[in-house]
């Protein structure tokens, strides 16, 4: 075959051999040189991350009122063990998705990962909406929901590394100085907005269907979760991977050991802080409806949902404050400030629980402020730090590992939430949150790096030079654009600099 347009012909072309320093210089020079299609794709990638992650936020909070409804409909069958199983299935799926899709991000490509996660969320949400037990079995219904939420969880979990790596790289191409605030607004803001959105949808559907048709209410709420990810499907099929990825990907002979040697300290920081954050935040989100319901007279569903909506609304402003502070205070200091909110408000609520729950609006306000500080600090910063701390070739993998440890914390917290309440009392869920706040401050201070204002291309260049300094050689870049790096040649580097800066 002689045609140059044939893909196989392009793939079979001999790779160019250059030194790590030369390739690093090219990466830094080309990272922000975009043609019109690449510029447009960067904007669409950022927007699609927002619309994709809002479906994650919705799915994460779907069971907040779902737990209240199922408890009302099936008080015997929907015991604490079943409730925990259904809630945890999303988390287990998310852990699997974060690790696997994180690897797919690096080894196959950002686009393939994003399209795959969208399909998984749609499939899981569809099964959940249509869930039923054999011969009308209620236990069968909840097992079917467990399975459906698990599939949805793989997609939801995979969305974290897929959307976040793509958004951070696209924002770096267009706006280095405002990369942090932009990243936060298209990731944690929409994830946090998913909570009030899920409750608002529930209230609208409940008002339309009435409390006598709760089966219809929960199925419609699950069904809306099918539509949200479909809004970005077309754009994800059409998008381009970032230039940083196309030029800097390592798909073969990945140096995992060297990766761990270079990034172990930052990985301890992101994994540890994310574990603590999700250990507190996720069960408090999932079971907040149950907590509020338990202190409201007769556990009225509509009133519970209204207070739940207020709780979500109070928690949301923390996202904006964190986005405003992340460049001014720096990533690490902002995260420590957020963890301090757990300490202050966790102790305030925990030590005065019996009195403060007698004034429900005051309890909801303090509860919301605790969650708002969580959004301000680790909620905003963890995704940002986990997207900035690593080089492009391993960004998806290490982001996925960090997020998976976070979701492990969420699963442990969800599993432990009911036993803590039953054996120690509800106040201890807040006192433990305060303890986690102290631990979070310490881990952040000693292990989390601060990449405020740093060009991601700089770390890519340093990583390539580090690899060759440790004896690694291999192909860098996607198949059609890849080059093979070899040991450094200072004379070749001098010629390349002269050509670049001519």
Q: Which pair of tokens denotes residue 332?
A: 């690490």
Residues 164, 49: contact at Cβ < 8 Å?
A: yes
Q: Is 470 a member of any domain?
A: no
- Bridge partners, 476 (sequence order): 483
Instruction: Say how far apart CA 22 and CA 13 lie, in whole Å.
Output: 20
Region label for 66, one of left (φ > 0), alpha (ψ between -120 and 50) or beta (otherwise): alpha
Q: Is 464 a member of any domain?
A: no
pLDDT, position 259: 94
Q: Is 52 a member of any domain?
A: yes
DSSP conformational letter for 483: E
User: What share of the chain in percent tops pLDDT 70?
Assistant: 86
All residues at 6 or more sequence positions from 247 whose CB lies less than 8 Å from its CB, including other chains? 26, 27, 30, 31, 476, 477, 481
- Bridge partners, 17 (sequence order): 484
Instruction: Say how far apart CA 297 and CA 291 lie, in whole Å.
Output: 12
Where does the pLDDT of residue 241 fall: very low under 50, low under 70, confident under 90, or very high at 90 and above? confident
| Number of folded domains that form the chain | 1
Residues 418, 487: contact at Cβ < 8 Å?
A: no
Residues 111, 239: contact at Cβ < 8 Å?
A: yes
Cβ atoms within 10 Å of 385's Cβ, excluding its own:
30
pLDDT, position 482: 63
Q: Which pair of tokens denotes residue 321?
A: 């404050």
Instruction: Say how far apart CA 388 and CA 141 lie, in whole Å.
Output: 42
Instruction: Say how far apart CA 387 and CA 459 lie, in whole Å.
Output: 12
pLDDT, position 100: 94
Average pLDDT estimate for 125-149: 90
Q: Indicate whether 12 pLDDT > 90.
A: no
Residues 91, 71: contact at Cβ < 8 Å?
A: no
3-state percent breakdown (helix, strand, coil) of the chain, nearest 5: 80, 0, 15
Going from the C-alpha of 18 to that of each of 76, 320, 488, 490, the distances in angstroms are 68, 44, 8, 11
Closest among 198, 205, 169, 179 to 45, alpha carbons compared = 169
Q: Indicate whether 299 pLDDT > 70.
A: no
**Phi, psi of 309, deg, nearest 5:** -65, -40
pLDDT, position 174: 72
Going from the C-alpha of 266 to that of each of 377, 389, 443, the distances in angstroms are 17, 7, 10
Q: Is 484 a member of any domain?
A: no
Instruction: Say how far apart CA 161 and CA 22 lie, in whole Å.
Output: 29
Q: Which pair of tokens denotes residue 492?
A: 């070749």
Instruction: Say how far apart CA 308 and CA 464 lie, in whole Å.
Output: 49
Of the two residues 358 and 341, the one the predictor is more confident about is 341
CATH number of the domain that residue 269 is part of: 1.20.1250.20
**Phi, psi of 330, deg, nearest 5:** 95, 155
Where does the pLDDT of residue 4 fall: very low under 50, low under 70, confident under 90, or very high at 90 and above? very low
Average pLDDT estimate for 43-47: 83
Q: Is 472 a member of any domain?
A: no
Instruction: Say how far apart CA 487 and CA 355 lie, in whole Å.
Output: 68
pLDDT, position 1: 38
Q: Indicate whether 446 pLDDT > 50.
A: yes
Where does the pLDDT of residue 291 fall: very low under 50, low under 70, confident under 90, or very high at 90 and above? low
Residues 127, 61: contact at Cβ < 8 Å?
A: no
Q: Indicate whether 418 pLDDT > 80.
A: no
Closest among 91, 65, 371 to 200, alpha carbons compared = 65
DSSP conformational letter for 389: S
Q: Calculate the average pLDDT of the chain.
A: 83
- Bridge partners, 426 (sequence order): none
What single string gives the DSSP state of each residue in 214-254?
A: HHHHHHHHHHHHHHHHHTTHHHHHHPPPPHHHHHH---SS-
All residues at 6 or more sequence positions from 39 whose CB lies less than 8 Å from its CB, including other chains? 174
Q: Is 488 a member of any domain?
A: no
Instruction: Indicate yes or no: pTM above 0.75.
Output: yes
User: What share of the chain in percent tops pLDDT 90?
Assistant: 32
Q: Which pair of tokens denotes residue 145?
A: 């929901």
Residue 104: domain span: 32-454
Cβ atoms within 10 Å of 128's Cβ, excluding its own:
28
Cβ atoms within 10 Å of 132's Cβ, excluding its own:
11
Q: Is 53 a member of any domain?
A: yes
Instruction: Say how far apart CA 299 and CA 71 lie, in whole Å.
Output: 11
pLDDT, position 6: 43
Average pLDDT estimate for 440-463: 90
**Phi, psi of 484, deg, nearest 5:** -100, 125
pLDDT, position 501: 44
Instruction: Say how far apart CA 204 and CA 44 lie, in whole Å.
Output: 31
Average pLDDT estimate for 23-40: 71
Three-state helix/strand/coil letters over 305-371: HHHHHHHHHHHCHHHHHHHHHHHHCCHHHHHHHHHHHHHHHHHHHHHCHHHHCCCHHHHHHHHHHHH
Closest among 257, 274, 197 to 444, alpha carbons compared = 274
Average pLDDT estimate for 414-439: 85
Q: Is 255 a member of any domain?
A: yes
Region label for 425, one of left (φ > 0), alpha (ψ between -120 and 50) or beta (otherwise): left
Average pLDDT estimate for 318-326: 93
Q: Indicate the angle between helix axes 188-209 and 214-230, nearest 10 degrees.
A: 140
pLDDT tens for 53-104 read 888 888 888 887 788 888 888 888 888 788 888 888 988 899 999 999 999 9
Of the two residues 297 and 453, the one the predictor is more confident about is 453
């Amino acid at each position: 075959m002689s045609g140059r347009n044939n893909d196989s012909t392009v793939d079979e072309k001999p790779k160019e051999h250059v030194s790590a320093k030369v390739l690093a210089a090219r990466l830094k020079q080309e990272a922000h040189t975009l043609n019109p299609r690449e510029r447009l794709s960067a904007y669409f990638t950022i927007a699609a991350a927002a619309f994709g992650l809002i479906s994650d936020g919705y799915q994460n909070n779907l069971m907040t009122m779902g737990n209240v409804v199922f408890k009302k409909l099936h008080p015997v069958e929907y015991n604490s063990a079943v409730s925990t199983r259904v809630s945890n299935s999303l988390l287990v799926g998310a852990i699997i998705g974060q690790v696997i899709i994180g690897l797919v991000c690096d080894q196959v490509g950002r686009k393939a990962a994003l399209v795959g996660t969208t399909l998984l969320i749609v499939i899981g949400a569809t099964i959940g909406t249509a869930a039923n037990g054999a011969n009308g079995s209620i236990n069968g219904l909840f097992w079917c929901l467990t399975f459906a939420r698990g599939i949805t969880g793989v997609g939801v979990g995979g969305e974290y590394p897929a959307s976040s790596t793509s958004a951070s790289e696209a924002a770096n191409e267009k706006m280095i100085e405002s990369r942090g605030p932009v990243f936060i607004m298209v990731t944690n803001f929409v994830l946090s907005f998913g909570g009030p959105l899920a409750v608002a949808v529930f209230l609208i559907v409940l008002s339309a269907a009435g409390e006598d048709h709760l089966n219809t209410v929960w199925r419609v709420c699950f069904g809306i979760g099918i539509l949200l990810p479909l809004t970005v499907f077309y754009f994800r099929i059409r998008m381009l991977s970032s230039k940083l990825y196309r030029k800097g990907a390592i798909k073969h002979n990945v140096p995992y050991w060297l990766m761990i040697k270079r990034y172990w300290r930052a990985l301890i920081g992101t994994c540890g802080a994310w574990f603590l954050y999700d250990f507190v935040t996720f069960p408090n989100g999932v079971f907040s409806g149950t907590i509020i319901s338990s202190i409201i007279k007769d556990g009225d569903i509509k009133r519970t949902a209204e207070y739940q909506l207020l709780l979500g609304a109070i928690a949301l402003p923390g996202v904006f404050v964190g986005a405003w502070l992340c460049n001014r205070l720096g990533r690490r200091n902002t995260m420590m400030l957020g963890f301090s909110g757990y300490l202050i408000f966790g102790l305030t609520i925990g030590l005065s629980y019996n009195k403060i729950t007698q004034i429900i609006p005051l309890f909801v306000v303090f509860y919301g402020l605790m969650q708002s500080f969580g959004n301000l600090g680790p909620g905003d910063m963890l995704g940002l730090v986990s997207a900035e701390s690593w080089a492009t070739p391993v960004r998806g993998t290490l982001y996925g590992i960090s997020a998976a440890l976070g979701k492990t914390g969420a699963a442990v917290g969800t599993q432990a939430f009911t036993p803590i309440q039953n054996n120690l009392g509800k106040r201890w869920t807040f006192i433990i949150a305060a303890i986690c706040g102290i631990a979070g401050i310490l881990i952040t201070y000693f292990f989390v790096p601060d990449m405020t204002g740093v060009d991601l291309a700089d770390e890519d260049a340093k990583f390539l030079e580090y690899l060759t300094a440790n004896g690694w050689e291999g192909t860098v870049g996607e198949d059609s654009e890849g080059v093979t790096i070899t040991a450094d040649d200072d004379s070749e580097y001098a010629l390349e600099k002269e050509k670049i800066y001519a």
